[in-house]
Structures are given as structure tokens and as C-alpha cells.
Amino acid sequence: MTSPAAPTEGRLACGREADALVAQVAEGHAERLDDHQRDCPYCQAALAEFDRLWAPVRAVSAHRPQAPDGLLDEALRSIRGVASDPEFGSITDARGRTRISARVVEALARHLASRVPGVRVALTRLVAAGAGPETSLIADPGPDVVAGVAGGSTVVAITLAADYGEDLVDLGTRIRAAVADGVRASTGLEPVAVLVHVDDVLL
């Protein structure tokens, strides 16, 4: 997975144009992921959020030949608002709006994943660097985590090392549940997907 670029106007952190994803949703193809989108948490989060915001237009068009005045404009305005702030999720309630950085989701997901039994690489694990009298302790950065956020939706991708002998399918299921439940409870964002990549097993 490539490192995210700095978001520019109308583009996601991965570089994809938001308008292209809006068109994909409007055409009813939000679930048809291309090769890039299958591994991209930024695109998956945006598609899920755009699809949710487009739902009123889709519901009306299924029952009437023409949407009510203003409905299409309102859906597009909401989608453009989400696309204009690609580094933050957003939760709005009667008392105001809370913006949540993708970095917060990443830190939370890293912590939650590191606490699942069977995940060997733990957050801030100290490891020996060097040998002999020059040996020092350095902090291991822990599992690699990337989060895509869009409005109230998020997709988290976690790369980690597991304990040797673990049932990796079961481990992935437990990590997805722990991360999704924890992110939802702590931030109010909806984890659309948690992508688990087991990169190594350690004795």
C-alpha cells in the first residue's frame, strides 16, 4: 500500500478524484471496486459515505419519475462537503459537529489491534538495537495502520505480525471485531471495513 499524498482540492488522500467516485455511486456501482479500490481505505470510506448520502435520491427515484425539488442538490452538497475535508471524519448531532482526524482512528485501531491475543507486534514494544556494549532499546512502531475517513464512515487497514501457530483466519475475525467495535464506541464513526494484512509470523 502506497503512502498517502497530501490531499488536494477534490481529491482523496490516495489521489483519486472525488467526482469520479460520486459518479460511480450515482450510477449504482458503489460495490464494484476496481483493483485500486479493493486495497484502498480512502476510496472505500468515501464510497460508503457517498453511497449513504446518495440513498435519499435513490429511494425517491425508485418510486417516482422525478426527485422533489432540491433533493438532488442537497445530496450533492453533502457529498461535496465530505469530499472537501478528506483527512477528517465528521459526526453531527443536535449540539454541533465533531471532526475526527484519520490519525486518531489509526492510533485507536493500532492500540485495539495490539491488544488482541495472537497479535505479536504490540504498540511501543521495546526491542534491542545493535549488539554488545552499544546495544540500546528503541520503540518498535507497532502494526502499520492506515485509516480512510469520509463523513461518518471509516475504513481501516492494519498490517501486523502474528504469533506462530495462530489460526490466522480466526485472528483476522477477532481483530476486525475488536477494531470495529472500539472505533465505533470511541469515535461514533462507522467502520465500513477493517482490512487485516498478516505480514509475518513470529516464534
pLDDT at 143: 54
Cell of 75: 445530496
Q: Which fold has domain 100-202?
A: Alpha-Beta Plaits (3.30.70)
Report the chain's C-alpha Rg in angstroms: 20
Mean pLDDT for 21-32 is 89
Render pLDDT for 33-82 as a digit per residue (tens, 0 to 9). Answer: 999 999 899 999 989 988 888 888 777 766 555 556 666 666 666 666 56
Look at residue 141 and give its three-state secondary structure: coil
Mean pLDDT of the chain: 78
Which band of pLDDT confidence, cut at 50, 70 and 90, is reported for residue 182? very high
Q: Taking the C-alpha atoms of 160, 161, 167 and 169 in order, what is their torsion angle to the nearest 10 degrees?
A: 20
pLDDT of residue 80: 64
Task: Look at 21 and 74; give whichever has higher pLDDT.
Answer: 21
Q: Scan for cell 501457530, then name that residue.
A: 165
Checking if the pLDDT of 7 tops 80, the result is no
Lowest mean pLDDT among 8-12, 112-116, 185-189, 196-200: 8-12
Q: What is the pLDDT of residues 125-159, one digit of tens each?
A: 333 333 344 444 444 445 578 888 888 889 999 98
**Residue whose C-alpha is closest to residue 98's, from 88, 106, 90:** 90
Grade residue 113 by pLDDT with cuts at 50, 70 and 90: very high
For the chain, give every domain's residue range.
18-99, 100-202
Helix (H, G, I), strand (E, B) or coil at 152: coil
Strand pairing report for 190-202 and 126-129: unpaired
Q: What amino acid is encoded at 40 in this protein?
A: C
196: Cα within 13 Å, side-chain hemisphere: 23
pTM of the model: 0.66
| Predicted pLDDT at 133 | 45
